[in-house]
Structure 1
Amino acid sequence: MRHSYATHLIEAGVDLLEVQQILGHHSILTTTRYTRLTHQTQNNAKARIDALMDRIAIGWGKVK
């Protein structure tokens, strides 16, 4: 149940440090053991990275 709960919180956009606090863990490493990367989380991360990269225009010798 804790694994599912932590994963659903992450998928809902709750910050990992907040999940740590909710679960009562002293170490963030313990919290990461309770989270799983799902297809939804993976797709969201990819979309965010793609959006960041789309904002960067690189030309010869200059960055816009």
Structure 2
Amino acid sequence: MCSATHLLESGTDLSYIQEFLGYKRSRTIEIYTHFSTRSLQNIKSIFDDL
């Protein structure tokens, strides 16, 4: 897993990750940000609280 993913999972704002890795465009960092299964499992549906 890349460092961008670790930073994102720990709550670091995407703009800080972009600056840290030296990318000028946010679209570039979004391409390289991979999400782990753990992150996907933590996504809450709007229907979960019904």
Please classify the TM superposition score into its range, dividing by the shorter chain length.
0.7 to 0.9
TM-score computed with the length of structure 1 as normaliser:
0.62
Unpaired runs of at least 5, structure 1: 58-64
The alignment partner of 2:2 has SS state of helix
Q: How many residues matched? A: 49
Larger relative contact order, structure 1 or 2 (CA cutoff 8 Å, min sep 6): 2
Give the aligned CA root-mean-square deviation in angstroms.
2.0
**Identical amino acids, percent of aligned pairs:** 33
Matches within 5 A, 1:1-64: 4-44=2-42, 46-47=43-44, 49=45, 54=49
Show CA shifts across 1:33-64 (max 9, x none): 111121111123x13x55xx73xx8xxxxxxx
- 4+ residue runs of structure 1 moved beyond 4 angstroms? none
Unpaired runs of at least 5, structure 2: none
Larger Rg: 1
Higher percent of residues as strand: 1
- CA distance, structure 2, for counterparts of residue 13 and residue 20 of structure 1: 14
Higher percent of residues as helix: 1
